[in-house]
Amino acid sequence: MKSLLEGLRHFQRDVLPQKRDLFSHLAKGQQPSTMFVGCSDSRVDPNLLTSTEPGELFVLRNAGNVVPPYGASTGGEAAAVEYAVQVLGVSQIIVCGHTQCGAVQALLEEGAAADLPALRGWLTQLEATRRVVNEQRDEIEPEKLLERAVQTNVLVQLANLATHPVVAARVQSGDLRLIGCVYWIETGVVAHTVVNDQGGWDWVTLSPDD
């Protein structure tokens, strides 16, 4: 607690004065251009990764960067998506997974969440990811299984996003883009999705010089 209080003092003493104009502007309302769906993992910082300031990202975080299909959950994910697209008018939604994801790891290991009933229930929303990866297990090197599962999970969540009416409408009109990303904690490398000629997704590694 002491370190957090010191951090708050540093913010009030050193950071806030330098960003006074920004926060004064944000007090009048928010106009983020991007919704960022990420994992709750403490090692993943959306603003740090994207070099964005407060007010630029509308962030939704949960274990496994999950967006359930429309109507499949009573959680807040659908409400957040609807608000971001319909009210705030974001022009893109990024779903960002990451290596060493504990939620995806638990999904792959039978009985891994046996003593965590809430987590076990939550992971049922990743069932599509589990089934896709299981169909491909024979083709994946064991040491690459988790990495492939993380990528697959991002693609599944992009497909889930497309089932939300407000998202489908804006994508169809060309006013909204859906983008998947994977962040490698070990190296800082980021890969993102691009639409291929068949209408599917390919992965492209982002270069610092691009």
Structure confidence by residue, pLDDT tens digits, 14-65: 878 888 889 889 899 999 999 999 999 999 999 999 999 999 999 999 999 9
Sequence-separated (6 or more) residues with CB below 8 Å from residue 46: 36, 38, 52, 57, 59, 61, 96
C-alpha to C-alpha distance for 87 and 98, rounded to whole angstroms: 29
Structure confidence by residue, pLDDT tens digits, 136-193: 988 899 889 999 999 999 999 999 999 999 999 999 999 999 999 999 999 999 999 9
Q: In what order do the strands lie in the sheet with 177-183?
A: 57-62, 34-39, 92-98, 177-183, 190-195, 201-205
Average pLDDT over residues 122-148: 92
Q: Which domains does the chain have, with CATH numbers?
A: 1-29 (no CATH), 31-205 (3.40.1050.10)
Token pair 């709750």 is found at: 40
Contact in structure between 141 and 50 (CB atoms under 8 Å): no
Q: Which of 119, 109, 103, 92 has the alpha carbon at shortest distance from 153?
A: 103
Average pLDDT over residues 85-108: 96
Contact in structure between 38 and 46 (CB atoms under 8 Å): yes
**pLDDT of res. 97:** 97
**pLDDT of res. 151:** 96
Q: Which of 94, 100, 22 has the alpha carbon at shortest distance from 60?
A: 94
**pLDDT of res. 34:** 98
- DSSP assignment of 1-40: -HHHHHHHHHIIIIIHHHTHHHHHHHTT----SEEEEEE-
Asked if the model's pLDDT at residue 210 lies above 70, the reply is no
The token pair that represents 132 in the structure block: 């896709």
